[in-house]
């Protein structure tokens, strides 16, 4: 038969109901904390996904803006080229008119004065 000393020794070696309650409480706290951490982590992932989506949207807007700038630059370059051709034509016509005026003045006997 077991005496009180034996029971005390057995209690120190084996788990009691209170020990199991404490373990169960610790497991519940761990599980709750783990779930909270997971939810926090999941929320952070959602936030990161939203940030990435925002960056993608900004990049698409930036791409569109750069494309518009390229088109505008091409239009300006074409306008400058057209003006250069027109200037050359006007310059040639002006030189021709100047030559004709000198020829007419010479035939008429008119002396042209330059200021």
- With a pLDDT cut of 70, the percent of the chain lying above it is 90
Q: What is the pLDDT of residues 52-72, one digit of tens each?
A: 888 898 999 999 999 999 999
* Ranges 6-15, 36-45, 70-79, 91-100: which has the least confidence: 36-45
With 0.85 as the threshold, say if the pTM is over it.
no
Q: Where are the domains of the chain?
A: 15-108
Beta carbons within 8 Å of 101's beta carbon, 6+ residues apart: 112
Predicted local distance difference test score (pLDDT) of residue 29: 76
8 A C-beta contact, residue 105 and residue 111: yes
* CA distances, 79 to each of 60, 87, 88, 89, 104 (Å): 29, 12, 14, 15, 37
Round the average pLDDT of the chain to a whole number and report it. Answer: 85
Burial 10-45 (b: 16+ CB within 10 A, else e): eeeeeeeeeeeeeeeeeeeeeeeeeeeeeeeeeeee
User: 79 pLDDT exceeds 80?
Assistant: yes
Q: How far apart are CA 69 and CA 71, in angstroms?
A: 5
Among candidates 15, 108, 49, 51, which has minimal Cα distance to 100? 108
């Amino acid at each position: 038969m077991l005496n009180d000393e034996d029971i005390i020794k057995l209690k120190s070696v084996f788990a009691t109901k209170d020990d199991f309650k404490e373990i169960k409480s610790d497991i519940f706290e761990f599980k709750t904390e783990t779930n909270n951490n997971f939810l926090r982590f999941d929320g952070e992932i959602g936030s990161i996904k939203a940030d990435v989506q925002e960056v993608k949207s900004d990049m698409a807007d930036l791409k569109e803006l750069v494309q518009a700038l390229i088109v505008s630059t091409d239009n300006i370059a074409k306008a400058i080229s057209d003006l250069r051709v027109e200037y050359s034509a006007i310059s040639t016509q002006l030189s021709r008119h100047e030559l004709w005026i000198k020829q007419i003045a010479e035939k008429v006997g008119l002396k042209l004065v330059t200021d």
